[in-house]
């Protein structure tokens, strides 16, 4: 004789609590907003690099940040308590040409039709990115990283066997080491 087991109903709060009505509505709005490409940062970065290309890299980067912070659109999401965003609209991805530009140009006409990470992009944005691409040829962090790669490793890269772009172009914070912690605690 089998007995019917009643389903367990849990009334526990989710691990991080429940969203407030305001945040639940904003979450739904955010999820309904299509991802897009923002070219503002790319244009401002290119402008700075062209104007100050003979400056030391640390000064050049500082001037670029200054230019971006002074001239980029300020996007403030009304539903959140945090002001500002990395792009000119919600769910927009900024292009960072100083890291790598080749893949951007190669995928420009596919951004809105890729199977994953689909981004809407206007024809005007495509035109602007194509206009600045020439400046960045052989002038990116990726180019500098690849130029330092030993010839044997470069052969494997050229054949598509290794893909170090993530480490080369992810920015300094992705590879910055907390040396104080390493010295206190060790690598383990």
> 100-139, pLDDT tens digit by residue?
999 999 999 999 998 888 999 999 999 999 999 999 999 9
Residue (of 79, 75, 63) closest to 21 by Cα position: 79
pLDDT > 90 fraction of the chain, expressed in percent and rounded: 46
The alpha carbon torsion through 77, 83, 87, 90 (nearest 10 deg) reads -20
For residue 6, what pLDDT is reported?
64
pTM confidence score: 0.76
Residue (of 132, 114, 135, 112) closest to 122 by Cα position: 112
For residue 5, what pLDDT is reported?
64
**Over the stretch 151-186, which tens digit does the pLDDT of each residue have?**
988 898 888 888 777 777 765 555 567 788 888 998
For residue 164, what pLDDT is reported?
75
Categorize the per-residue pLDDT at 149 as very low, low, confident or very high, splitting at 50, 70 and 90.
Answer: confident
CA atoms within 13 A on the CB side of 128: 18
For residue 92, what pLDDT is reported?
92
For residue 123, what pLDDT is reported?
97
């Amino acid at each position: 004789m089998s007995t019917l087991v009643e389903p367990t109903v849990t009334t526990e709060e989710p691990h991080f609590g429940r969203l407030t009505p305001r945040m639940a509505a904003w979450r739904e709005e955010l999820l309904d907003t299509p991802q897009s490409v923002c070219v503002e940062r790319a244009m401002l970065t290119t402008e700075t690099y062209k104007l100050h290309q003979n400056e030391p890299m640390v000064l050049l980067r500082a001037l670029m940040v200054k230019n971006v912070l002074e001239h980029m659109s300020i996007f403030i999401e009304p539903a959140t308590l945090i002001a500002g965003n990395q792009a000119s609209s919600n769910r927009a991805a900024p292009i960072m040409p100083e890291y790598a530009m080749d893949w951007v140009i190669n995928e420009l006409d596919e951004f809105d039709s890729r199977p994953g990470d689909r981004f809407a992009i206007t024809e005007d944005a495509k035109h602007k990115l194509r206009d600045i691409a020439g400046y960045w040829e052989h002038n990116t962090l990726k180019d500098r990283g690849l130029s330092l790669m030993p010839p044997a490793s470069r052969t494997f890269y050229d054949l598509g066997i290794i893909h170090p772009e993530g480490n080369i172009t992810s920015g300094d914070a992705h590879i910055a080491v907390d040396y104080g912690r390493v010295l206190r605690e060790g690598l383990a």
